[in-house]
């Protein structure tokens, strides 16, 4: 019972912290919780168990061809696992963008959904494949070391790899060129598989390389994570520009004020004003301001889609609908935004 509790807490607690960080990272237009939960669930259940089944078959094939030993094991870890796991996780991203295209706006959305799928996958893999078996067979010391390595040192790995695929799909989402819509996601998948393969090879060859391969894995893992966070930061700045550019027309139309435009372009000010609204009007005020933010941002993003892709799937009609909706939400949020007026 104690072992199961330690394994569950060791897998779940870091996952919750990391998921909250990724959710916070999406500063301007929060993705629907139902889709985030769906992405996490896909990683945790279908992708994890589909990968397990296919890896068992792949390992059996490798053993039949090459027998036992270091080389067949390395092939399974560094070729089979990355190919199978990143493909299984990537299927969910493709499904999300095809089924819920209107909720998939740009590169950041791809990173967010990819990371959630990766965290779900890591939760199941860590708990079932590592924490419970190692704690049971090798004892508390080895188990706690493994928990630390897999949740702290390499805790973002699966989120990183699937986030790379998501970034590629997000880029393709706004590309008007058919060739890029195919080549960029495939290239991102290849990068994710390669990064995953380097990590697995580095971990597998620790003894043979006197830990130098592990150092290489850490450089690739943490370097890739910092690079992906840099991309996310750049996209956030671009989203702020989209909001300013898209809503400036609403200011000229008289539907928004210049003060509102300045607020909507600043993620920090948005958060501060929304929490102030909570203090004045409770949950209702917090909700009303949030809906106003979300609708205004969706309107700006939809205008960007119109500029990039034309009237894809009725962008003009959606812009008209969002303008009407924003007018209604603005009336509800106004007393909480500017109480002095």
Return the residue matching tokens 């971990």. 203
pLDDT for 340: 59
DSSP state for residue 177 in the 8-state scheme: -
Phi–psi pair at 156, nearest 5 degrees = -100, 5
> pLDDT exceeding 70 applies to what percent of the chain?
98
**pLDDT digit string (tens) for 324-340?**
999 999 999 998 887 65
pLDDT in tens, 221-250: 999 999 999 999 999 999 999 999 999 999
d(CA 225, CA 227): 5
Residue 30 has pLDDT above 60, yes or no: yes
pLDDT at 339: 62
Percent of the chain exceeding pLDDT 90 equals: 74
Q: What is the DSSP string of 168-213?
A: HHHHHHT---HHHHHHHHHHHHHHHHHHHHHHHHHHHTTTTTTTHH
DSSP characters over 320-341: HHHHHHHHHHHHHHHHHH-TT-
Q: What is the mean pLDDT of the chain?
A: 92
What are the two backbone dihedrals, phi and then psi, of residue 266, each rounded to the nearest 5 degrees? -115, 115
What was the pLDDT predicted at 66?
A: 67
pLDDT at 256: 93
pLDDT at 158 over 90: yes
> Is residue 132 scored above 70 in pLDDT?
yes
Instruction: Enter the tokens of residue 95.
Output: 């499904």
- 265 pLDDT tier (thresholds 50, 70, 90): very high
Closest CA to 110 of 222, 268, 231: 231
Is the pLDDT at 38 greater than 80? The verdict is: yes
Residue 341 has pLDDT above 60, yes or no: no
Say what the pLDDT of residue 179 is.
85
pLDDT score at 176 = 81
Please give the radius of gyration of the chain, using alpha carbons only, rounded to the nearest integer: 23
């Amino acid at each position: 019972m104690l072992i199961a509790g330690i394994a569950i807490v060791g897998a779940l607690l870091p996952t919750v912290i990391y998921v909250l960080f990724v959710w916070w990272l999406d500063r301007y237009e929060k993705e629907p919780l139902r889709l985030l939960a769906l992405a996490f669930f896909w990683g945790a259940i279908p992708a994890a168990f589909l990968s397990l089944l296919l890896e068992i078959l792949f390992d059996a094939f490798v053993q039949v061809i090459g027998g036992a030993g270091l080389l067949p094991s390395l092939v399974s870890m560094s070729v089979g696992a990355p190919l199978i796991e990143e493909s299984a996780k990537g299927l969910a991203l493709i499904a999300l963008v095809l089924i819920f295209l209107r909720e998939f706006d740009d590169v950041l959305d791809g990173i967010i959904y990819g990371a959630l799928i990766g965290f779900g996958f890591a939760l199941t893999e860590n708990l079932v494949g590592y924490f419970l078996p190692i704690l049971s067979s090798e004892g508390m010391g080895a188990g706690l070391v493994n928990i630390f390595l897999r949740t702290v040192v390499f805790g973002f790995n699966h989120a990183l790899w699937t986030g790379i695929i998501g970034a590629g799909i997000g880029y393709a989402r706004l590309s008007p060129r058919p060739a890029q819509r195919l080549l960029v996601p495939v290239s991102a998948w290849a990068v994710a598989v390669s990064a995953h393969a380097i990590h697995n090879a580095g971990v597998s060859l620790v003894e043979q390389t006197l830990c130098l391969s592990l150092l290489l894995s850490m450089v690739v893992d943490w370097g890739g994570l910092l690079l992906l966070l840099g991309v996310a930061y750049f996209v956030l700045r671009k989203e702020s520009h989209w909001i300013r550019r898209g809503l400036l027309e609403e200011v000229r139309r008289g539907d928004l004020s210049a003060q509102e435009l300045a607020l909507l372009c600043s993620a920090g000010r948005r958060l501060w004003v929304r929490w102030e609204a909570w203090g004045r009007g409770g949950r209702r005020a917090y909700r009303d301001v949030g809906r106003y933010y979300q609708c205004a941002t969706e309107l700006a993003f939809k205008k960007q889609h119109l500029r990039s892709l034309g009237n894809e799937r009725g962008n003009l009609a959606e812009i008209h609908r969002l303008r009407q909706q924003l007018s209604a939400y603005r009336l509800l949020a106004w007393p909480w935004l500017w109480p002095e007026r």
